[in-house]
Amino acid sequence: MNTLETNRILETLQSLYPNVECELIHSNAYELIVAVALSAQTTDVNVNKVTPRLFEKYPDVLALSLAAINDVQQIIKSLGLYKTKSNNIILMAKIIVADYDQIVPNKMKDLCKLNGVGRKTANVVLSVAYNVPTIAVDTHVNRIAKRLGFAKNDDDVLQVEKKLMRKIDRSLWSDTHHRMIHFGRYFCTARNPKCNLCPLVDICKEKNKNIIKGK
Ligand code: SF4
């Protein structure tokens, strides 16, 4: 991919989604990290249905660290993996209370020590809660990066993240992450991408495969 193509992709995504932000409802770093941890293998819409009750009952990290697991399970049981997620967010809260003075850490190495927090979740927290430029590679970003030629099909998520960071100006990392998620969620979906409407069809590596079934 050359610089001209990169710039065209970024400008197209910007014009499609000029104002982008995280779709997980949250009002602080605690609510965000819990919401992102709960979002694994489900949608933001589903997470947003359970978090108001969860945060009403457990309004801060200390309250969640003292929660009974059965109660948390009841509140989030509509989500997949709710038992594991309940366990993870309570243990995560305990560590934040014990080791970080009840403040969600703002360093990658510290975030990744928390239960249920991997590199993707950490990058979202750094970007959204702390305004640190990052590119969190979720399923949408991974797919779009490969279709548009930022990365190879057999690259793992860390390789995809590094290639995106190399090719995109740091000042655009966070916005591009959100724009790629929107593009993947609403336009270039996994199964029925809208190839026949796509302004990037000439750049796409999968257009021949998808344009036939594009809607
Ligand atoms: S041509 Fe289709 S698969 Fe390629 S980026 Fe556009 S919508 Fe996605």
* CATH value at residue 13: 1.10.1670.10
What is the pLDDT, as a whole number, of residue 205? 86
What is the pLDDT, as a whole number, of residue 206? 83
Please give the positions annotated as active site.
120, 138
- For ligand 1, whether the C-beta of 90 sits within 6 Å is no
pLDDT above 60 for 102: yes
Say whether both 160 and 100 belong to one domain.
no
Say whether both 118 and 189 belong to one domain.
no
pLDDT (tens digit per residue) in 40-61: 889 999 999 999 999 999 999 9
pLDDT class for 14, splitting at 50, 70, 90?
Answer: very high
Say whether both 90 and 66 belong to one domain.
yes
Say whether both 201 and 163 belong to one domain.
yes
Say whether both 36 and 121 belong to one domain.
yes
Residue nearest to atom 8 of ligand 1 (CA): 188
Say whether both 8 and 64 belong to one domain.
no
pLDDT class for 4, splitting at 50, 70, 90?
Answer: confident
Q: Is 75 among the domain residues?
A: yes
Contacts for 207-210: CB closer than 8 Å, 24+ residues apart: none
Both structure tokens of 106: 């703002």
Contacts of residue 127, defined as CB under 8 A and 6 or more positions apart, other chains included, come to: 133, 134, 136, 173, 174, 177
* CA dihedral angle for residue 93, residue 99, residue 105, residue 107, rounded to 10 degrees: -130
Both structure tokens of 46: 């589903």
Say whether both 114 and 58 belong to one domain.
yes
Name the burial class of residue 4, with classes exposed (0-12), middle (13-18) and buried (19+) by CB atoms within 10 angstroms of its CB.
Answer: exposed
pLDDT class for 208, splitting at 50, 70, 90?
Answer: low
pLDDT above 70 for 210: no
What is the pLDDT, as a whole number, of residue 127? 94
Record the pTM.
Answer: 0.88
> Domain boundary residue among 77, 110, 130?
130
By C-alpha distance, which of 141, 136, 86 is closest to 111?
A: 136
pLDDT above 50 for 22: yes
Asked if 69 and 81 touch (Cβ cutoff 8 Å), the reply is: no
Say whether both 81 and 118 belong to one domain.
yes
Atom of ligand 1 nearest to the CA of 200: 6
Name residue, tokens 């991997």.
118
What is the pLDDT, as a whole number, of residue 82? 96
pLDDT (tens digit per residue) in 111-170: 999 998 999 999 999 999 999 999 999 999 999 999 999 999 999 999 999 999 999 999
Say whether both 113 and 199 belong to one domain.
no
What is the pLDDT, as a whole number, of residue 215? 39
Domain range for 195 is 3-19+136-210
